[in-house]
Amino acid sequence: MKQIISENYGSFEYTEGGVCAAKGFKASGYYCGIKAFMKTGADGNESPLPGQKNDIALMVADAPCNTAGVYTSNKVKGAPVVVTKNNLAASGGKSRAVIVNSGNANTCNGDGEEKAKAMCGLVAEKLGIAPEMVIVASTGVIGQVLPLEPIKKAIDPLFEGLSYTGNEAAATAIMTTDTVKKEYAVKFTAGGRECFIGGMAKGSGMIHPNMATTLNFITTDCAASPEILQKALSEVVKVTYNCLSVDGDQSTNDTCMLMSSGLAGNAEITSEGEDFDTLRDALYQVMANLTRMLAKDGEGATKLVTCVCSGAPDQDTAIVIAKSVIRSPLVKCAMYGADANCGRILCAMGYAETDCDVTEADVYYISNGKKILVCEKGLGLKFDEDLAKEILSADEIEIYAELHRGTETAVAWGCDLTYDYVKINGDYRT
């Protein structure tokens, strides 16, 4: 599908509510002390203290949901990824609830799948449903055993806290090194009915996806079959989350789920057509804006950096080149220092894994309505260094590359690379 190169990446009306914007979804979040238990073997507090961030989230649908998912392609997969994929296959693409913890990824552990299944079982028992109807996800430190004790104690408070306005508590609970919660929702019309679609995402570091990125949960009340949901999600992931890179490291736990309660009352979408296009485009607006939020909140980042590659012979080529620029450590460092070193841009374009000739490319830097040409026909130019410095000192920067090789355009999202990224990851476990 075509990417939309604009501020809000679509024309649908924004609405509050995140994962609770769609009819039939409740959510909650709670602090259970997973990290405290890992360090001391004790929960720490029987109840959260003021200022403590939620570390476990629950989302429950009023009715079984048609569900689609995409997951990390890392050869090392977190136990929750394996269990969720198996659950979705066993349930025939249906789910009813989601449980997510932060602080521990439950990955590379001998008892990982056992613990992930146990988390599903705790939720299923409360709802009186099969464990296969529960989606489970985890994020945090890899290779440390996930304690079940604090999670068991959190189940009752999580269910007691469920609310149709509980989206913020849940979005906060899935954060790790994130500095802000990430939510977005829109409303649209399908089959003559008003529908809503909204999501929440977490991610700040270890972001360089292939199939999905970070943890993402999206809900809609638009009725659609599991196959249609999967088609829409797979198409949109390609031009949103898969066009994001913070640090070049692909997570072991990447998961993106799309759930449909069907409570909007439209006739179920079972094939391509106008309603499918509308659902997919609304999903794109939600996921593109979440992608932008993820990039802007990269670990230690001070700037959101986008690369727009235009004039490409096809969309795949444009995506590959834009992502190559965004993920370059040298480009990211130059953006941090507001150094208009166009050689780094050309270098990254040149080693992009595509056979497109970029020797005719023009490169611009853009921010706050100002634009400067720094490279023309593959050659560096003399330019106003002060203006370039001003443009690159903004907190949102666009690198625009025009290839003059066709009509296709793509955008990729990233951020600068700072000293704080090293500090955060130098003592991540402590």
Q: 63-101: per-residue pLDDT in tens?
A: 999 999 999 888 889 999 999 999 999 999 999 999 999
Residue 232 has pLDDT above 90, yes or no: yes
Tell me which of 49 and 414 has the higher pLDDT: 414
Residue 193 has pLDDT above 70, yes or no: yes
Which residue stretches of 131-225 are H helix? 149-160, 167-173
| Burial of residue 41, with CB atoms counted within 10 A of its CB: 0-12 exposed, 13-18 middle, 19 or more buried | exposed
Q: pTM to 2 decimals?
A: 0.92
Give the pLDDT of residue 9.
82
* Alpha-carbon distance values, 399 to 269, 338, 380, 382, 412 (Å): 39, 12, 15, 17, 10
Tell me which of 140 and 424 has the higher pLDDT: 140
Residue 18 has pLDDT above 70, yes or no: yes
| Burial of residue 64, with CB atoms counted within 10 A of its CB: 0-12 exposed, 13-18 middle, 19 or more buried | middle
* Alpha-carbon distance values, 194 to 45, 186, 191, 263 (Å): 44, 11, 9, 10
- Segment 387-417, tens digit of pLDDT: 999 999 999 999 999 999 999 999 999 999 9
Domains of the chain plus CATH, in order, are 13-296 (3.60.70.12), 304-426 (3.10.20.340)
Residue 299 has pLDDT above 60, yes or no: yes
Q: Under DSSP, is residue 262 helix (H, G, I), strand (E, B) or coil?
A: coil
The phi, psi pair for 345, rounded to 5°, reads: -65, -50
Point out the catalytic residue in the list 84, 139, 176, 213: 213
Residue 280 has pLDDT above 60, yes or no: yes
What tokens does 41 get? Answer: 């073997």
Verify whether residue 213 is a known catalytic residue: yes
Residue 42 has pLDDT above 70, yes or no: no
pLDDT mean across residues, the chain: 92
Q: Tell me the chain's radius of gyration from C-alpha atoms.
A: 22
Q: How far is CA 268 from the centre of its chain?
A: 27
Residue 223 has pLDDT above 80, yes or no: yes
Q: Under DSSP, is residue 116 helix (H, G, I), strand (E, B) or coil?
A: helix
Residue 239 has pLDDT above 80, yes or no: yes
